[in-house]
Structure 1
Amino acid sequence: MDVFWIPLLATLMLLHQTTSASDNTEVIGVLGGSVTFHSHNPDGNVAFWNFGNEPIVTVVFEDPPRLIFFKDKFQTRFAVSERGRALSISQLRMEDAGSYSVTINGKRSTFTLQVFRRLAELTVTCEAQNCSDGRCSFSLRCSVPDASLGNISYSWRMRDQLLAEGPMLLVNESLSDKQEILTCGVQNPVSTMNVTVTTPMVLCPGANSGSWIRIGVVAGVEIALLLSIYLVFYCKSKGH
């Protein structure tokens, strides 16, 4: 750093410590993507950018702007624009999440960055089943394998009809008999994914066998009834 800038930087740091109340902006980023923080403060001659309490860069509003980076780690993925009133981060990492701020002429603007992964995998499994009196009901669970995806919302639909919100869906036999396609939709702050289940009973073999038991019982009763009718007519024909 030039000797000329040492006293000036000390003065600027002193001014930086006396700031007015700040406004906060929520910013959402995608892992591997990029974000930009914009300060709309038109005043001042210098901007102080910080990550928490750690200085990132000081920008003196010259033409071109003069940059004073405090740490090497910020020089590869961080860049300033709009003469220092905007800060961009590329190739976002999970550890980039946190609070950023810029102070210009004693006025501070803060930005809370959240970084999320995109949804990449979605599975549907049979969670539980209950069969009694030849009838079965079962529960399907829609889930994602990664817990670091942020706040996730779930919904279950049949065509355009919303059946349930949340990862679990209770399927009774009246619903499964319709042979409708079920769709689980999952959403986090940066992506959306859907999975369809065309034959939900296949996921729960016990429920499927329960239906066959019920069908077998009904068929057995019908056969017994036909046999009884046949025996009645047979006996009458023989004079018994």
Structure 2
Amino acid sequence: MAGFSTFIIFTSVLCQLSVTTTSGTLKEVVGALGGSVTFTLNFTEFHTVVWTFNTFSIAIIAKDNVIVLQNHNKERIIFPDGSSLKLSQLKKNDSGVYRAEIHRTSFQSPFTQEYKLYVYENLSTPKVTMDGQANKNGTCTTKLTCSMEEGGDNVTYSWKAIGQGVNEFHDGAILPISWKSGEKDKTLICMARNPISHSSSAPILAQNLCEDSANDLRSSNFILYILPGAIVFSVMLVMTIPFAIRTERRKGKESQLLVCSATYVKAIKL
């Protein structure tokens, strides 16, 4: 009996499919991997509703009789109000076009409503890489690139630079950097976003990226200021040592002369 009812429904629907249909505006729907979406119909009265996914039939609803045509999806599909379709445990390959063809006795032709489903993954932490670095006169120039190792569909990137007196935003995955040692440090954060989620990288300090530049500047300061002073001090020290030696020798001779004189005077008295 159930098979006969199914046959009658199929025959009725197939006879009506050749009739010209009218369509509503294509609706875009987004869902999260593992989540659920509902394709809502605003029809409370209908004779038959035929649901399809791309070119495959999903289910046929006729009055109180519901026939799910894909056995492997039966546990994932429900009809919350008797006509709308709810799909759960979303997979990447669920993305595509879903169509509801509504037949009503008051319609001269069926009405078709289409939905375009996009299934996205929740974003993980973005990966940040540094591409090249140049150091000149204490100024560091480089660029950072933000990317996703997985789940990178329809992702947009932006950068935030914050610090004392700094609050900047940059669009795009690539951030050029120019930082000079001695400048106030700033924190760089990459922000990634897709239609269902967003994520941010760990904070990055510009000073840490440009440590070589700071070291170069310290080396330059040593050469320009400290090293000349050290050289002058060394020269003065070299010049002073012989003078000190001569002075000590002269003092030694004078002491020896005084001792001899005292001995001579003492001998005379005796």
**TM-score interval, smaller chain:** 0.7 to 0.9
Does the 8 Å contact 2:181/2:207 carry over to 1?
no
- Going from structure 1 to structure 2, the CA distance change for 1:69 and 1:175 (only over 3 Å counts) comes to farther
Larger radius of gyration: 2
Show CA shifts across 1:175-197 (max 9, x none): 88321211111111111111233
Does the 8 Å contact 1:181/1:196 carry over to 2?
no
Which residue of structure 2 aligns with residue 190 of structure 1? 196
The structure whose RCO (Cα within 8 Å, separation 6+) is larger is: 1
- Matching of residues 1-240 of structure 1 within 5 Å: 1-18=2-19, 19-61=21-63, 65-84=64-83, 86-105=84-103, 106-146=110-150, 148-159=151-162, 161-174=167-180, 177-202=183-208, 204=209, 207-224=210-227, 226=229
SS at match of 1:81: coil
Provide structure 1 residue ranges, at least 5 long, that are not aligned to the other structure: none
SS at match of 2:114: strand
- Greater displacement, 31-40 / 41-50: 41-50
Identity over aligned residues, as a percent?
21
Superposition deviation, residue 6 in structure 1: 2.4
Does the 8 Å contact 1:35/1:90 carry over to 2?
yes
- Greater displacement, 11-20 / 148-157: 11-20
Does the 8 Å contact 1:43/1:104 carry over to 2?
no
SS at match of 1:151: coil
Normalised to the residue count of structure 2, the TM-score between the two structures is 0.75
- Going from structure 1 to structure 2, the CA distance change for 1:161 and 1:170 (only over 3 Å counts) comes to same
Does the 8 Å contact 1:176/1:201 carry over to 2?
no
Distance in 2, Cα, partners of 1:144 & 1:4: 51
Structure having the larger proportion of residues in helix:
2
Superposition deviation, residue 76 in structure 1: 1.9
- Going from structure 1 to structure 2, the CA distance change for 1:6 and 1:176 (only over 3 Å counts) comes to farther
- Going from structure 1 to structure 2, the CA distance change for 1:88 and 1:8 (only over 3 Å counts) comes to closer
Superposition deviation, residue 5 in structure 1: 4.6
Superposition deviation, residue 163 in structure 1: 3.7
Superposition deviation, residue 162 in structure 1: 3.0
- Going from structure 1 to structure 2, the CA distance change for 1:55 and 1:201 (only over 3 Å counts) comes to same
Distance in 1, Cα, partners of 2:114 & 2:134: 53
Cα RMSD after superposing both structures: 2.7
- Going from structure 1 to structure 2, the CA distance change for 1:51 and 1:81 (only over 3 Å counts) comes to same
- Greater displacement, 169-178 / 112-121: 169-178
SS at match of 1:196: coil
Which residue of structure 1 aligns with residue 263 of structure 2? none
